[in-house]
Amino acid sequence: MKEDTFLKKNEECTITIEDMGNDGEGIGKYQGYTLFVKNALVGDTVRVRAMKCKKNYGYARLMEIIEPSPYRVEPKCSIAYQCGGCTLQHLDYKEQLHRKQKKVTDCIERLGGITEGYTLYPIIGMETPYYYRNKAQFPVRKNKDGKVAIGFYAGGTHSIIDTEHCCIQAKENEDIIRVIRKFLEEENISIYDEETHKGLVRHILTRVGFVTHEIMVCLVINGKDLPVKEKLIEKLKEIPGMKSISLNVNKEKTNVILGDKVIGLWDKSLEAEGTEEDNSAMIPYITDYIGEVKFRISPLSFYQVNPVQTKVLYEKALEFADLRGNETVWDLYCGIGTISLFLAEKAKQVYGVEIIPQAIDDARENAKLNGIENAEFFVGAAEEVLLEKYRKEKIYAEVIVVDPPRKGCEESLLDTIVAMAPEKVVYVSCDPATLGRDIKYLSSRGYELKKVQPVDQFPHSGHVETVVSICRVDS
């Protein structure tokens, strides 16, 4: 049965934006009825058109800004309003930080049930909140005129905004996209079609080392090989910093960007050595640093996309862990071992857990790369591995670090943490809502929130990272 609402689709009204949602959308009320409006800001008075109306709330399109918010600024990027990547570029950066700090506080108080007894530090933003992403994934399609379109998806769609410039991606991408676009057009390479599942080139993946300045390019293809690839390799090699060129095979009819198979095409280190080794058998990679720790990064590696703020985030996690050198530390959801290797410098022993085998392979390799011998890594679900090691091998921990996905920690994992009774839990969160929920759970089982540090990992988006220190009450 269709829900009735007094505001109908395509009706227009004027509202004042009073709050902002998780993705940066404006929230206002029309005669008590809540409307979510993309590109509207707190303090805006706007004319909107209802697009989707439910019983208690609806979604509306911004038609006119009658009176702009005092925080509204002109976006640096010309396609900011169309692209789905930056949802807050039109909001003054200081106000972005203020909204994110408020978001963290609200979730801790409302969902965590904690209003006092902890220290909340001011959010750490970026001095220059542009060109900070070291990884980019560009979809490749044909536009209506039959020309090659490379760029980004428009918000909430699979329509591509054709562009070579992005204000939050590494600047090196502009040269890469120009070279690949020219190659695809001149050689008449077939382009993937989502509807028919035909065509070859699907995506372009790039990674840039912000410290080493090494560049990786990986073309995602719906096939076994790329025609006349030697021509593309020769052109890409001319770009300063180019280190690795590869193909990723993804023949599935899916929205998942990468497949499991990577084929190496060219690697600068092999060329420099003059080796006759078959490039296709190599594992393509670049290296980069977070602080003093060196990481080897392949096309399939998970690696934080903002290296500047990642260093800030991990240094804060290390500070909150307050290690003295005699502790056993568990790093849960460890990825390729980024936090683990930071912790290993100060701890007696670090154990990392991650469910993705490829990530654990990378973690072990990165430990070797840095000569770190006191870090051991396990493949599996964090809640299962930790419970097994605790029950069967009686492994305890003085400190446990968790860096879960947006859904937060499994309740069974929190139960095992409580049973192990570490002195400290350092929680690195990418979602304040699930952070608040998990803080409440631990707080009711003998733990106390002590410190909260928000970090702006993704400027111009609605996301915020947070590091918190949670201590056992009797420790």
Query: Which positions are annotated as active-site residues?
Result: 430
Residue 279 is classified by DSSP as: G
Cβ-based neighbours of 379, under 8 Å, separated by 6 or more: 354, 355, 356, 357, 360
Q: How many CB atoms neighbour CB 228 within 10 A?
A: 12
Instruction: Sort residue 467 into left (φ over 0), alpha (ψ -120 to 50) or beta.
Output: beta
93: enclosing H helix or E strand: helix 93-110
For the chain, counts of helices (H) and of strands (E): 10, 22
Residue 193 is classified by DSSP as: B
Which has the closest alpha carbon to 329: 313, 316, 314, 344? 344
Cα dihedral 297, 301, 305, 306 sign: negative
Which has the closest alpha carbon to 38: 53, 69, 17? 17
| Rounded Cα distance, 295 and 385, in Å | 25
| Rounded Cα distance, 309 and 315, in Å | 10
Q: Are 173 and 206 in contact (CB under 8 A)?
A: yes
Helices (H), 394-431: 411-420
254: enclosing H helix or E strand: none
Q: Are 75 and 86 in contact (CB under 8 A)?
A: yes
Helices (H), 299-337: 307-321
